[in-house]
Structure 1
Amino acid sequence: MDGRALAAVRPSGRQLAWQEMEFYGFIHFGINTMTDREWGEGHEDPALFDPSGLDADQWVRSLKSAGMTGVILTCKHHDGFCLWPSEVTKHSVAASPWRDGQGDLVAEVADAARRHGLKFGVYLSPWDRTEASYGSGTAYDDFYVAQLRELLTGYGPIFSVWLDGANGEGPNGKRQTYDWDRYYAVVRELQPDAVINVCGPDVRWCGNEAGDTRPDEWSVVPRQLQDAERIADRSQKVDDGTFSRLVRSDERDLGSRAALAGHEDDLVWYPAEVNTSIRPGWFHHPAEDGAVRSVDELFTIYLRSVGGNAGFLLNVPPARDGLVHEADVAVLESLGRRIAAFRERRVAAAVTVSSGEPGDVATAWPERGSAPWRPDDADARPAVTLAFDRPRPVEAVVVGEDITQGQRVEHVVVQGRSDGRWTTLGEAHAVGYQRILTFPPTEVDAVRVELPEFRDTPVVARVAAIGTGL
């Protein structure tokens, strides 16, 4: 298989901007919050929606404290209740006592996100258990597109339109065949810079909601993985309380040369997103206030997702009073401190490369560099060496490719030098936008990153060694 052809598949501008966001939040809030449900039945009384202390700024501050760069709001979940005053249904906040029927929660969250420097995205469930036209075909598509247009024209720039494949009524219920291409066209028309996630062509679902990550994540994959109906078929079908932690053992390798065999002429750039919730459920349930995930667990998911060539989408559900619960707030603040401390432990080093000019490869993390390193085409085993001023304990190495030039690296080996001897600390296959390789703390005076296998001459954007802080 021609590696250069694989390396020639590149991200769009919107995909590149999304990848650089790295870590962002999901907010599940609505009628289900009031009824203590995960999936509403539809037709719930709008009078139930009256969160007395709702503070969108508190939501956004909580997400930002964790180091997140954006927020996606569940503007409408499967129950059909809209968090904005939609003109095509009466089942919305306009029929509720909240803000005396004059409220618009989508606007409040979008404005709060802008005030705090976060990007804003929307979730609009394709399944609507209240709307009478659901299951009718084009009439329902007209209804859904009308709501999509409202969200994409009234709330400023949108970075993500998050679409799942929810269609959970089962074989004996109403079945709507979604006109995905029509939905995509509306997004491209109204918000051309927005990525369309999951049941969409821009960002791929990692395949579970547990926060599990693949050993190697590839961004160049067969086009068939973009099939929205295939994705929907693997999505949650019933609210049974088990799906959120289900991890399948299949599809662990989607993009190695072996996995791409037979698909060489039909490949796409389709990067992965890891989505999970800070709690067992996606909506807030008082019974789960003692089950908020620990900082250690969330930081591990962060390292494996943001450090595994994927985006990290973490759900944080506000409580019935309209505030993020203090238990979640505390964990988010601690997570933000943990991430900041990790970044601050980058070890200063003198850089040498096996060929070519190093550019700013050794100083371009966590900032964005502008001069990546490209070894000579004849360099059969490209390597970057970071030499320290004295032996230091190191526990991780960050490596990132310049993905504007595709995903090229197929094997990376990290070695450490102690007493003049080199030993292997870690290795992986896929790198892509960013790979964080962790290992037991080891005292070394230099780190070497070798790239023994690649699809085309590597173009490396960043290499950093992370100390233990001791």
Structure 2
Amino acid sequence: MNARRYWLDKLVFYVFFVLIGCMSANAQLPSTTSTQQLGADIKTSKAVMDDFMDKRFGMFIHWGPVTLRGTEIGWSRGNEVKTEDYDNLYKEFNPILFDADAWVKTAKDAGMKYITITAKHHDGFCLWPTAFSDYNIMNSPFKKDIVGELAKACKKYDIKFCIYFTVLDWHDKNYPLHDRAKKIDPNANMDKFRQTMKNELKELVVNYDPYMLWFDGMWEDAWTNEMGVDIYQYLKSIKKDLIINNRLGKEISGIGDNTVDHSKMVGDFDTPEQRIGNIEMNFPWESCITICNQWAWKSNDKMKTLKECIQTLAKTAGGNGNLLFNVGPMADGRIEARQIERLKEMGVWLGKYGTSIYGTKGGPYKPNSTYATTRKGNVIYLHIFERNADKLILPVLADAKIKSAKFMNGDVVSFAQNKDFGVLINLPKVLPDAINSVIVLELDKNAEKLPIINN
């Protein structure tokens, strides 16, 4: 983009969005607004959420100038990387090998159905040419709209495009905290910060039409639950069925395995982090998990085995959740070849067994280290991870009988069923898939209506 044209466009955008922002400021929710007031007229429709949950598998991408140091995005600012150094890395950031088509094609080949890019992480750097901050990709040597190019590539490959956006911003002088030291800046202005946030979000929604927004960074005291409700309502006024995760508010399961109150969540789905969520049939959830250890790229970072990847996906689907699987591209713009290869291997497995993942419900059995189950119509898909004996015994199926059993794309499996001992599956000496063999159990009734069985 021509530099003169860029700054002219920036000025036009700024004037337009400030005017819109001033108009919208009068429509903010009062501070007493509760999450429960977000009724059916505001919340994302069930049909849209069902479509999202049917997808089961997406790609998370954490990327920015910090890849020049190989440390964690956001969190290494002021720690492994001095703040001044971190905040100036964008001046060196020139990922000349970035290819949006290649990234999206990698996701497509992996069997992924959507992509979520960190358009703005806690360090405040924006991967799109925003009119509301100079700390953006157009002021790097690269000068290309990363968010825009990915949105375009996603349309080409029929992948849903989603955007990650942080609530906190340690770089913005109007945000009260500029690092993790919890020292409040007396010159900060949270009202101005929230208006900038609305302006940037409006840019993203209007210009790129994301399928979903994935928020993060709501844990600091400067951000309140009421602010989250306000932003949720504001976004819904722009795009009614925009899917929004629950990290605008304070009620999330997150990293811990804590009990949460779904009625208090500000958003449409829960987001357990770096762990597989607990089985939950009544509220949507998505686990975000890294393919390596670090979210952003790190040299020689330990990568998960194919067994870990496939079984993580199956256990997540078995608990009725989606898996948002993270990759961290390198500083030159490429996803590592080893990560691409691992994702392609997952795609090969899904090419054979995807019917047992996409569009299914979790259960009726809770996932464990030996097996997980998914279900669709009158079928239960039994995912077997380990062969510990000649026979696999499952708990009793309530008021349902198995009519037939066979390996997906393979041989018939003999079984026995009894209301006392449950279901006995006879296993061959060698399972057809060493990582996850899928047995199709056809029932005499709708498997989706069965209650969750404690196993």
**In the aligned structure 2, how far is the partner of 1:138 from the partner of 1:280?**
36
- Secondary structure class of the residue paired with 2:128: coil
Does structure 1 conserve the Cα–Cα contact (< 8 Å) formed by 2:67 and 2:330? Answer: yes
Match of 2:321 among 295, 310, 326: 310
Query: In the alignment, what sits opposite 2:255?
Result: 208
How much does 1:442 deviate?
Answer: 11
Match of 2:403 among 365, 386, 399: 386
Change (3 A) 1:63 1:205: farther
Match of 1:92 among 136, 143, 147: 136
Query: In the alignment, what sits opposite 2:165?
Result: 124
Change (3 A) 1:439 1:122: closer
How much does 1:84 deviate?
Answer: 0.6
- Secondary structure class of the residue paired with 1:292: coil
- Secondary structure class of the residue paired with 1:460: helix
**In the aligned structure 1, how far is the partner of 2:118 from the partner of 2:345?**
25
Does structure 2 conserve the Cα–Cα contact (< 8 Å) formed by 1:51 and 1:320? Answer: yes
Matches within 5 A, 1:298-377: 298-343=309-354, 361=377
Change (3 A) 1:345 1:94: closer
Matches within 5 A, 1:181-260: 181-200=229-248, 207-208=254-255, 222-226=261-265
% identity of equivalent residues: 22
Q: Return the letter of the residue paired with 1:104.
A: D
Does structure 2 conserve the Cα–Cα contact (< 8 Å) formed by 1:122 and 1:160? Answer: yes
Does 1:57 pair with 2:98? no
Query: Which runs of 5 or more structure 1 residues have no equivalent in the other structure?
Result: 1-9, 236-243, 256-268, 347-359, 366-379, 395-414, 427-437, 452-457, 463-470
**In the aligned structure 2, how far is the partner of 1:123 from the partner of 1:441?**
34
How much does 1:192 deviate?
Answer: 2.0
Q: Return the letter of the residue paired with 1:131.
A: D
Match of 1:285 among 293, 298, 303: 298
Does 1:161 pair with 2:213? yes
How much does 1:270 deviate?
Answer: 2.8
Residue by residue, what CA displacement relative to the aligned partner does 1:79-133 show, whole Å, maximum 9, x if unpaired?
A: 11100111011000111110xx3x1100011111111110000011111111111
**In the aligned structure 2, how far is the partner of 1:127 from the partner of 1:188?**
21
**In the aligned structure 1, how far is the partner of 2:54 from the partner of 2:403?**
24
- Secondary structure class of the residue paired with 1:286: coil
Residue by residue, what CA displacement relative to the aligned partner does 1:217-272 show, whole Å, maximum 9, x if unpaired?
A: 9xxx84455168xx99xx9xxxxxxxx7579xxx96878xxxxxxxxxxxxx5311
Does structure 2 conserve the Cα–Cα contact (< 8 Å) formed by 1:417 and 1:447? Answer: no
- Structure with greater strand percent: 1
How much does 1:14 deviate?
Answer: 2.3
Query: In the alignment, what sits opposite 1:468?
Result: none
> RCO greater where, 1 or 2, for CA within 8 Å and sep 6 or more?
1
Aligned length: 338
Does 1:34 pair with 2:75? no
How much does 1:382 deviate?
Answer: 3.9
Does structure 2 conserve the Cα–Cα contact (< 8 Å) formed by 1:134 and 1:176? Answer: no
TM score, norm. by length of structure 1:
0.62
Change (3 A) 1:206 1:302: farther
RMSD of aligned Cα (Å):
4.2
Does structure 2 conserve the Cα–Cα contact (< 8 Å) formed by 1:126 and 1:163? Answer: yes
**In the aligned structure 2, how far is the partner of 1:80 from the partner of 1:30?**
10
Q: Return the letter of the residue paired with 2:403.
A: L
**In the aligned structure 2, how far is the partner of 1:96 from the partner of 1:177?**
33
